[in-house]
């Protein structure tokens, strides 16, 4: 199953854990195939460089290299303009379209409000883990 994780899922999974980390682990193990693009990697680098995360530039670059080497890479050749309120979200759609993804996993309200785009379902991390992968949190 091909997926694209939005930048907020990558950041959450790398730095904080939870459902986002579970998804990244599933992709790292080859249970799902997560795709990234140059635009996603650039946005990830920009976000990780924010002072609130307290990462040194070497740490940020190491994380970017790890993400690039761990997940499949696509070079979108189609321009999308489906999200006017946050045009950067269109880069996620472009990557998903190019990757022939079945799902975009996101915490972004603009993307989630679409629910589906070009046959690609857009879901929260918890929904993907529970309903798509059939996993449950402890105690459920």
- The CATH number that applies at residue 71 is 3.40.50.1010
Any domain includes 140: no
Contact 4, 99 (CB under 8 A): yes
- CA 102 – CA 116 distance, rounded (Å): 10
Any domain includes 126: yes
Residue 99 DSSP code: T
Range of the structural domain that residue 23 is part of: 2-132
Per the structure, how many domains does the chain have? Answer: 1
Q: What was the pLDDT predicted at 57?
A: 95
Any domain includes 139: no
- CA 116 – CA 37 distance, rounded (Å): 20
Any domain includes 73: yes
State the number of CA atoms in the 13 A half-sphere of 46 facing the CB.
Answer: 9
Q: What was the pLDDT predicted at 136?
A: 58
Report, as ranges of residue numbers, the positions in the chain whose pLDDT lies below 50: 138-140
Neighbours of 136 (CB within 10 A): 9
> For the whole model, what pTM was predicted?
0.92
Any domain includes 137: no
Q: What was the pLDDT predicted at 133?
A: 78
Any domain includes 138: no
Any domain includes 38: yes
pLDDT tens across 92-117, in order? 999 999 999 999 999 999 999 999 99
Q: What was the pLDDT predicted at 90?
A: 96
Any domain includes 32: yes
């Amino acid at each position: 199953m091909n997926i694209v994780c939005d930048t907020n899922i990558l950041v959450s999974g790398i730095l904080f854990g939870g459902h986002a980390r579970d998804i990244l682990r599933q992709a790292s193990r080859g249970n799902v195939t997560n795709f990234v693009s140059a635009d996603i990697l650039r946005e990830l680098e920009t976000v990780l460089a924010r002072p609130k995360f307290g990462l040194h530039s070497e740490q940020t670059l190491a994380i970017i290299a790890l993400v690039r080497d761990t997940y499949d890479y696509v070079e979108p050749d189609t321009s999308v303009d489906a999200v006017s309120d946050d045009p950067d979200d269109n880069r996620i759609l472009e990557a998903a379209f190019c990757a022939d993804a079945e799902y975009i996993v996101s915490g972004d309200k603009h993307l989630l409000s679409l629910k589906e785009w070009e046959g690609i379902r857009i879901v929260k991390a918890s929904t993907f883990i529970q309903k798509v992968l059939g996993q449950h949190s402890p105690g459920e």
